[in-house]
Structure 1
Amino acid sequence: MMKQAQQAGLFDKIKHVMLPVGAAMDVLEGLGPEMPDNIWISGRYFFLYPDTAQNKDWVARFRKRWNHYPAYVSETGYSTMFAFKKAVEAAGSKETAKVIPALEGMELDSPAGHRVFRKEDHQAMYDVPWGLTKADPAYPFKIMGKQVVIPAKECFNRPPFEGEASMPPFKS
């Protein structure tokens, strides 16, 4: 799609293009240098965000083991298991009925940053980075350059569910 858009001159005609999961490694590596500059991209995780010791350490260990930059599914899988471990330890059990209350309201620092599990719907809330693609000689693909970080409460601002009609799947 990106190649066809370039051939059609789309990026010369449209001021802003947004790819909600454009920061996924399969997208960035798949397109390589063919990804245009100044495309808004985001994802559940991007290996250069946040700029914390925990994230840098995790990325370095991942790269050493797999010789690849971590995709968002790698980080979320890792953080999910870490959260489950923390909940099992807090609950003193692996029983679902005991683990659920331990997860509710849990706060967790992960490679992707600080997460909070909302008690009302068990949604893990976290800040979401958006950035403009740019070339960087350190990488064979475009990276997320200039960033805007959307705070968790603005990304997941739906109030707690109230009654059956407000719960997914939504009724029309």
Structure 2
Amino acid sequence: MRCLAWASAFLLSVCSLGLQAKEVIKVGEINSYKTIPAFLEPYKKGIELAVEEVNAKGGIHGKTLEVIMRDDGGTQSNAIREAQTLVQRDKVDLLAGSFLSHIALAIADFADKKNVFFLAGEPLTDKITWEKGNERTFRLRDSTYMKVAMLIDDAVALNKKRWALVYPNYEYGQSAAETFKKMMKERQPDIEFVTEQATPFNKIDAGSTVQALADAKPEAIFNVLFSTDLTKFVRAGNTRQLFKDVEVVSLLTGEPEYLDPLGEDTPKGWIVTGYPWYAIDTPEHNAFLKAYQDKFNDYPRLGSIVGYMMVQSLAAGLEKANSTKTEDLVNAFKGLEHMSPLGAIQYRAIDHQSTMGAYVGRLDVKDGKGVMVDIRYVNGADVQPSDEEVRRLRPQP
């Protein structure tokens, strides 16, 4: 009898644990936290705020949302090892995250082979939705192509013939440079690219890079550097007066993560993409800003928005699918729409890219801090290629 009683109790316990497990939806999130802390610490806060809000409203069909975070150490091998652990040991329902483009591509390939849904939050590589796109991977943030397209009208309007390029020498930087050259050649056939400086990521020799650019005597510079490379480049450029009488068009530089460290050294007049949180006045963003400041006693960075919107997208997709099965999530995300702090966004069915946009403006210095002025929001839907072009670029199922 005691054995029967014990067995009954054991079975009840197992059943209870099974029911309890089903009440939690687990998201395995992988990112380069130690490699890119300026972006990913605010990103983590954005995730925390969004998860708290989702669960405070009753979760997803009554189930609690949980995000399990892992650091990839900035390498593909670590990222795949963490993905395997999350899927096999932690039994996550889906994967999300990633920052560096080459790592995101590795996780996307893993997710495809293992039949796991993957929402890439931050990586900008075009390959993740085009050449190496797969059925199980979607991407939130505006892509490299979209970022460059946001700036092309401004770059053409400068009417400069001699251009130099400087970019980090990995997939994102290389892609941004090639896309810029292609778009500019189409709009301004007589353009000349007098030099290209491809620098090792996070290891720039700023003095040599600035000197090489100066020696080429460009009329304008297209810059793709970010993080500590950007800070070193700008300060070396200011010291050697590289930017005097030279126009600069720059990706990402208006994001607080990279703009704030420059302070008074912020180069005035650069045309940039970014996130001027202090100048956005919409009901959706005001609500996000208040909630973020109330919780963290700090202002949001672009990472904060990406982390927050990524969880918003996951919640909307899970709600629509009413399931954690990969095929159901894939179907739910195709054409998925939801509101965000940056307005309504949609995930295109044809390439799994969201229509998240960004702000474009010029840099200035106010009260010793770098800011964006003359801002305008560019909807991601307005800078995406046609369906015909996407079908040419992306393998069709």
TM-score grouping bracket, smaller chain normalisation = 0.7 to 0.9
Q: CA deviation at 1:122?
A: 0.8
* Shift in alpha-carbon separation, 1:19–1:68, aligned structure 2, 3 A: farther
Question: Structure 1 residue 7 and structure 2 residue 236: aligned?
Answer: no
Instruction: Tell which has more relative contact order, 1 or 2 (C-alpha 8 A, sep 6+).
Output: 1
Q: CA deviation at 1:38?
A: 1.4
The equivalent position to 2:385 in structure 1, one of 153, 157, 163, is 157
61-70 vs 73-82, which deviates more?
61-70
State the Cα deviation string for residues 76-95 of structure 1 (Å, max 9, x = none). Answer: 11111111111111111122
Contact 1:50 1:112 in 2 (8 A): no
Which 5+ residue runs of structure 2 have no aligned equivalent?
1-232
* Shift in alpha-carbon separation, 1:136–1:113, aligned structure 2, 3 A: farther
| Structure richer in helix, relative to its length | 2
Question: Structure 1 residue 90 and structure 2 residue 320: aligned?
Answer: yes
Counterpart secondary structure, 2:376: strand
Listed as ranges, the matches of 1:1-172 within 5 Å are: 1-14=233-246, 16-43=247-274, 45-48=275-278, 50-137=280-367, 141-159=369-387, 161-162=390-391, 166-167=393-394
Q: TM-score, length-normalised on structure 2?
A: 0.38
Letter of the aligned partner of 1:135 in structure 2?
A: V
Letter of the aligned partner of 1:13 in structure 2?
A: D
Counterpart secondary structure, 1:135: strand
Contact 1:25 1:69 in 2 (8 A): no
Q: Distance in 2 between matches of 1:49 and 1:123?
A: 27
Q: Distance in 2 between matches of 1:126 and 1:17?
A: 24
* Shift in alpha-carbon separation, 1:40–1:58, aligned structure 2, 3 A: same
Q: TM-score, length-normalised on structure 1?
A: 0.82
Letter of the aligned partner of 1:54 in structure 2?
A: E
From the CA coordinates, give the structure whose radius of gyration is larger.
2
Q: CA deviation at 1:148?
A: 3.4
* Shift in alpha-carbon separation, 1:123–1:48, aligned structure 2, 3 A: farther
Q: Distance in 2 between matches of 1:48 and 1:120?
A: 35
Q: CA deviation at 1:50?
A: 4.1
RMSD: 2.1
Which 5+ residue runs of structure 1 have no aligned equivalent?
none
